Amino acid sequence: MKKSRFTDSQIMAILPQAENGVPVLELCREHGMSSATFYRWRAKFGGMVASMVKCIVNIPVLVAL
């Protein structure tokens, strides 16, 4: 699987900026990502707090055990 250019903490820092009124296209330009990437992140991580994201990231590790 391809490694992401952005860490989970970076994603969690970008998403609230859009919620606070920064236009999505401006965020995408600033961070060098596509709008499709932003909307995929919003669908996956939207409304979560950082501790919840850590749990989701660790699930495949727990399943492999």
pLDDT per position as a tens digit, 13-34: 899 899 899 999 999 999 999 9
* DSSP for 15-41, written as a single string: HHHHHTT--HHHHHHHHT--HHHHHHH
> Is residue 53 helix, strand or coil?
helix
pTM over 0.75: no
Higher-pLDDT residue of 51 and 45 is: 45
Residue 6 phi, psi dihedral angles, 5° rounding? -115, 140
Indicate if the pLDDT at residue 11 is higher than 60. Answer: yes
Domain ranges of the chain: 8-64
What's the CA gap between 2 and 54, in Å, rounded? 19
Take residue 32 and report the two structure tokens written for it.
Answer: 């060098």
pLDDT of residue 25: 95
